[in-house]
Amino acid sequence: MTTLSTPKTDGILSRQIAFAAAFLLPTAKLLEAPSILAKDAAGDLLFPALLHFLVQAGVLFAVLVAASRSEKPLLTRLQEKLGRGTIVLYILYGAYFVFAALLPLLDLEKYTYAVFFDTSPTVFSFVFFFFLAAFACTKGIKGIGRIADLCLFLFVFPFLALIVMSLTETDFSRLLPLFGTKFGDTMSAFTHATPYFSDAILLLPLVGNLRYEKGDTLKILGGYGVGAASTLLFLAVFFGIYGSIAPREHYAFSKIAQYFPALSTVGRIDLIFVYLLTAVLFFCTCLPLQYTVDLTCRMVGTERRTLFSALLCGALFVFVLYANRHYDFFHTLIRGHLGWIFWFVADMVPLFLLFLPKEREVKRG
């Protein structure tokens, strides 16, 4: 029989969660999501994205409201309430995070080969990413918080640099007329991009470890707002540059500044910023894997993460090796047929946290 370990508050701060929302999560939306949104929504690509952000902000708000009802971390209360029944949730979310990691991993692999190599790399080149992932998985939630802090520097400067370099070539009139795309197509873009915008669930394990203080909701939602705003700005600039060919421009952030006039003289210095954003993207891709290992360790009642990290990363490497030949199939499968999983597990189930009873007033932080 497995025994549940007492959930440990792993020293995460609301500021770090806000930074994760503002600077870590947006990178996942700057890779394939822009071309996917542009494919169906064309110049109206901002609307499905905005709709996603509003939905996710709503889910996040609900989670934060649940967290604000006690001084105890959410996961602790959940376990106290459900007892051994928490195992079911841990299994559900452990599996969900693995599922949620598949598409980003496949995208990351393709992106890596396209952006980092002029030559044709071996299929094993990508294996090294899993060393990083396995190492990250051995660190707890505290590590994610620290990385989120660091992303303030790793994300903001390269992102602004790329945007500034892109602005000279941007024609914002390409976004006009507003609502020029059929509603059905806009909603189709909204549906197809769902896996890239399921953010609230990626913040849930962090909020679950947070000792809530008054004002944290505003702080974290503010951080999410900054992330959303920067993504929308990026999408606008991206479509402003590429217009009708945007659906064919994959790996958006690696291409957005490539027409900056000075690059022909000084070389692709934009790649320095692209590489820095890639480091953030690596951290972002590791997130669901870290959560899976964390949940597994809670379930088994151990602090020894190395074995689970190695097993998970090894299995995912084998999957990527196999799936890269069937990239389009998996894209269609996950974004199309299995898209409901994101809605159900990531957006609906967390709402049940609102049913956790209020424990006592939270003091001002």
Partner 1 sequence: MGVTTLRENLQKNIAAVKQLLPSEDILTYEFETADGVSCAFVYVDGVVDKQLLGELVAKPLSNMNLQNEGGRYKNTLELIQNLVLPTELKEQKKLEDIGKEILNGNSLLLVDGYPSGVIVDAKSLPMRTITEPPTDVAVRGPREGFIEDIKTNMSLVRKRLKTPALRFETLRVGKQSDTAVAICWLEGTANADVKAEVKQKIQEIQIDSVPDSSYIAAFLTPRKHGIFHSLGKTEKPDVFAAKLSEGRVGILVDGSPIALTAPFLLMEDLQSGEDYFITPFIATIFRFLRLVAVFVAILLPALYLSAQIFKLHLFPLSLTLTIASSVRDIPLSPNLEMFVVLFLLEVLKEASIRMPKYVGMSLSVVGALVLGETAVSAGFLSTPAIIIVAFSGICMYTVPEFVETGSVLRWIFLIVAGSIGPFGIVLLGAFLLYYLVTADAFGTPVLAPFSPLIIHDLRDTVAKYDILRLKERPEVLRTNNRTRIRLPRKTSGQGGRS
Q: Which residues bind partner 1 (CB under 8 A)?
A: 13, 15-16, 19, 112, 116-119, 121, 125, 128-129, 131-132, 135-136, 139, 142-143, 145-147, 149-150, 152-154, 263-268, 271, 275, 278-279, 282-283
Q: Which is nearer to partner 1, 69 or 219 (CB)?
A: 219
Q: Which is nearer to partner 1, 6 or 265 (CB)?
A: 265
Contact present, 359 and 77 (Cβ < 8 Å): yes
Contact present, 52 and 194 (Cβ < 8 Å): yes
CB of 192 to partner 1, least distance (A): 28
Q: Which is nearer to partner 1, 145 or 288 (CB)?
A: 145
- Residue 214 CA to residue 318 CA, distance in Å, equals 45
CB of 14 to partner 1, least distance (A): 12
Q: Which is nearer to partner 1, 129 or 242 (CB)?
A: 129
CB of 125 to partner 1, least distance (A): 5
CB of 272 to partner 1, least distance (A): 9
Contact present, 49 and 232 (Cβ < 8 Å): yes
**What are the beta bridge partners of residue 330?**
none
Q: Which is nearer to partner 1, 139 or 298 (CB)?
A: 139
Query: Which residues contact residue 210 at a Cβ distance below 8 angstroms, ignoring those fewer than 6 apart?
Result: 12, 13, 14, 17, 67, 73, 74, 216
CB of 144 to partner 1, least distance (A): 10
Q: Which is nearer to partner 1, 13 or 163 (CB)?
A: 13
Residue 47 tokens read as 């609307």
Burial (CB count within 10 angstroms: exposed 0-12, middle 13-18, buried 19+), residue 248: exposed
Q: Is 88 helix (H, G, I), strand (E, B) or coil?
A: helix
Q: How far is CA 71 from CA 219, 300, 365, in A?
A: 17, 26, 11
CB of 363 to partner 1, least distance (A): 22
